[in-house]
A and B are shown apart, each in its own frame.
Chain A
């Protein structure tokens, strides 16, 4: 019989136990897969930018495509003022994408299926956008919470709703990525368990379903990285171009 579908998300220690005071900072499988994805990104972009030929080979094409994809996404959503933040959004997108994609390999570990990882990423985006907004506009940034063209009677209510929705941004951004990864991988494990328990006679139906699900999960892995990056751009757009 199949094991617990949640067992794949277990974090365990690799190597010796390292303690900093009461905090456990040992090297885990989560850290291992973060390092693997960062090294893969570095490798692809180092190989891709080494030759710089006019007729690109496959690796150079991959590097150029992802560069222009993210560059176009930023200029479409946040305008030309967001150009200085390209490197941050590019590394954010690439890191989330590679963590999601490495998680799709059998027997690997999905870094982004843990809320603490995605929450830290989203929290830094939130703090960064707020600091940029206050630096660019001073206290005028608070006008973000007062939409124009609202009747005066409704205004106090709207301002409270706007503040709550602003403060819940890091939570919704992180839970979206984490929930998609967690739900997708659990579902794949559950359907994999059906194949084993139904055996050679009835197992073909869940097996074909699980193949289709793997395809869907690759789409979701890309899509969630894209959504994470594009929402960062939209938040940055709020901070850079204040429309009021």
Chain B
């Protein structure tokens, strides 16, 4: 296989990790909303934790994106 084509395929596969990040972010927000609907008075206190979880989950997916960019541009 040509190197250029293999690089493109590899970068495409690496970006699949963002699907996991999508599932994770959706899960975090849905759990937060479920909890907040059940006990609205406690919702405000957990908002920083929501943001922290969102950022952590998003970052794990972005590691895959960095791998894709490294494959495309650094090699």
In the complex, 5 of the A-B residue pairs with CB atoms within 8 angstroms, ordered by the A residue number, are A6-B73, A175-B66, A176-B56, A224-B55, A230-B48
Instruction: Summarize A's interface: helix, strand, loop or mixed.
Output: helix
**A180 on the interface (CB 8 Å rule)?**
yes
Contacting residues of chain B (17-75) with chain A, CB-CB under 8 angstroms: 48, 51-52, 54-56, 58-59, 62-63, 65-66, 69, 73
Given contacts A6-B73, A182-B69, contact A226 B51 (CB under 8 A): yes
Contact A179 B59, beta carbon cutoff 8 Å: yes
Contact B65 A179, beta carbon cutoff 8 Å: yes
Interface residues on A, range: 10 to 19
Contact A180 B51, beta carbon cutoff 8 Å: no
Contact A223 B55, beta carbon cutoff 8 Å: yes
**A212 on the interface (CB 8 Å rule)?**
no
A121 contact set on B, CB distance < 8 A: none
Kindly count the residue-residue contacts between A and B in the assembled complex, taking CB atoms under 8 Å apart: 42
**A132 on the interface (CB 8 Å rule)?**
no
Contact A179 B63, beta carbon cutoff 8 Å: yes
B48 contact set on A, CB distance < 8 A: 73, 76, 230
**A183 on the interface (CB 8 Å rule)?**
yes
A180 contact set on B, CB distance < 8 A: 55, 58-59, 62
Binding site for B on A (CB under 8 A): 6, 73, 76, 172, 175-176, 178-180, 182-183, 186, 223-224, 226-227, 230
Interface residues on B, range: 10 to 19
9 additional A-B pairs beyond A175-B59, A175-B63, beta carbons within 8 Å, are A6-B73, A176-B56, A179-B62, A180-B58, A180-B59, A183-B62, A183-B66, A223-B55, A227-B52
Given contacts A176-B59, A180-B59, contact A230 B52 (CB under 8 A): yes
A172 contact set on B, CB distance < 8 A: 59
How far is the CB of A97 from the nearest CB of chain B, in Å?
14
B51 contact set on A, CB distance < 8 A: 223, 226-227
B58 contact set on A, CB distance < 8 A: 180
Contact B66 A179, beta carbon cutoff 8 Å: yes
Closest B residue by C-beta to A230: B52
How far is the CB of B13 from the nearest CB of chain A, in Å?
17
A76 contact set on B, CB distance < 8 A: 48
Q: Which of B56, B62, B66 contacts A227 (CB 8 A)?
A: B56
How far is the CB of B46 from the nearest CB of chain A, in Å?
12
A27 to B65 CA separation, bound complex (whole angstroms): 31
A76 to B47 CA separation, bound complex (whole angstroms): 13
